[in-house]
Amino acid sequence: MSNFDCVVVGGGMVGAASALSLANLGLTVAIVESKQPVGFNETQALDLRVSAISLASEHLLTQLGAWPQLKQWRMCPYKRLGVWEHQASYTEFNADDIEQSHLGHIIENRLVQLALWQQINTHSKVTLFAPASVESFIEHENEIVVSLTIKSAEKECGEIEKITTQLLIAADGAHSQVRKLAHIGITGWDYQQSAMLINVETQSSQQDITWQQFFQTGPIAFLPLPGESELGGYASLVWYHQKNEIKRLSALSNEQLQSEIMQKFPQRIGQIKVINKGAFPLTRRHANTYQKGRVLLLGDAAHTINPMAGQGVNLGFKDVKALQTVIASAIGNNECWHLPEVLSRYEAKRRIDNLLMMTTMDSLYATFSHPSPAIKLFRNIGLKMANKIPFLKNKALAYACGV
């Protein structure tokens, strides 16, 4: 039976980053993941799933050695963020105002994961179990015994293997199996809306701005993507609306959807050509606790947030950094780093910050979807006031960027 200091379940962006960050502290780490990421080829089409990687997340990915590879592949920096409901209330955030060269980068989720896996594959402290899944675990006084199903092409049922660990990390997403096995409950709700992701060619070449316009039915957003297309550049459009409307839009042909976009999106979008599309429901989930004994929840296993401001994966990377700091501090102070009372410091560092961001996004969502003319007037005055109080505006921007 193999023994590890830490077992991370889930090898996505947050799981891979947490495994690397702990391995860099000298801990032996196992990653359990259901499938390995597909390798990168520059001829591959842009994925639909992208993230706005903040400055704080960029710093973490640099520390973990993944950022140089991402720069060699493809990413799109953005310097400005525009927000408005009516054009008269247009508010723009600029990296210059917080003395930064950019606010973040739009990067495909799969490439972030793949760049982290490249570091994992060469790290002597990390062992990969993939494809594999966790069937059960038992926490004893001095160790956790984890039962895995190791899958293979030769055997349909897979083989059962047991490993032991001092710390079990659930980074296996919003429907976390480890969270369920640990009997950790969640609170939350469905927003009764869906988001449609639409990759398009744009008349304009690559831009340095991402923007969002609010409607009562939900916002529409523009995210610049890297590369040059036949039309000019590329972008990701995000269309929030009621579930039935997104279902209708998803059933349209690319040409029909293109016509709908040109009618509903602002003129600043210019001419576009739809090349890919997909949709997902909006949900809000928050685990009742991030810790149970020596089991910890990170990323979407602990919290899912309204994606309106693109903070989901950035909150997950903040979780990773907080856990790394807690364990590094314990090791440095000659404490037993895997004691529950030490691990509880992770939740103390992250729960309030995550809840604050989730509540802020929920408040924005509720405010901009409210039909009252008085509320509508109030929110547009609020956007105008943001331009008149640059100190508060820049404070909010710096917080969102993690600087």
- The domain locations on the chain are 2-69+110-187+285-364, 77-105+192-282
Under a CB-based contact definition with an 8 Å cutoff, are residues 330 and 342 in contact? yes
Q: How far apart are CA 125 and CA 202, in angstroms?
A: 45
Q: In which residue are the tokens 């502290």 written?
A: 25
Helices and strands (H and E) in the chain: how many: 11, 19
pTM over 0.75: yes
Q: How far apart are CA 357 and CA 313, in angstroms?
A: 12
Q: Tell me the two tokens of residue 336.
A: 């037993």
pLDDT-flagged residues of the chain (< 70): 153-157, 308-310, 364-397, 399-400, 402-403
Under a CB-based contact definition with an 8 Å cutoff, are residues 22 and 183 in contact? no
Q: Tell me the two tokens of residue 385.
A: 């006031």
pLDDT in tens, 121-159: 999 999 999 999 999 999 998 999 999 999 876 566 678
Per-residue pLDDT at 154: 58
Q: Which CATH class is domain 77-105+192-282?
A: alpha beta
* 162: β partners: 147
Under a CB-based contact definition with an 8 Å cutoff, are residues 204 and 231 in contact? no
Per-residue pLDDT at 386: 57
Q: What is the DSSP string of 205-260?
A: ---SEEEEE--TT--EEEEEESS--SSSEEEEEEEEEEHHHHHHHHTS-HHHHHHH
Side-chain-facing half-sphere of 327: CA atoms under 13 Å: 23
Under a CB-based contact definition with an 8 Å cutoff, are residues 284 and 24 in contact? no
| Domain 2-69+110-187+285-364, second-level architecture | 3-Layer(bba) Sandwich (3.50)
Per-residue pLDDT at 1: 80
Closest CA to 173 of 42, 323, 298: 298
Q: How far apart are CA 357 and CA 376, in angstroms?
A: 22
Closest CA to 61 of 318, 351, 264: 318
Q: How far apart are CA 396 and CA 26, in angstroms?
A: 36
- What is the number of residues in the chain? 403
Q: Tell me the two tokens of residue 255.
A: 């040409």
Within a 10 A sphere around the Cβ of 16, how many other Cβ atoms?
29
Q: How far apart are CA 300 and CA 354, in angstroms?
A: 11
Per-residue pLDDT at 309: 59
How do strand 159-170 and strand 295-297 relate by DSSP bridges?
parallel
Q: How far apart are CA 374 and CA 130, in angstroms?
A: 55
Per-residue pLDDT at 189: 81
Q: How far apart are CA 239 and CA 354, in angstroms?
A: 25
* 145: β partners: 138, 164
Which residues of 79-207 form beta strands (DSSP E)?
Answer: 80-84, 91-94, 104-108, 126-129, 132-139, 144-150, 159-170, 186-202
* 55-63 vs 312-332: helix crossing angle, rounded to 10: 50
Closest CA to 82 of 262, 268, 239: 268
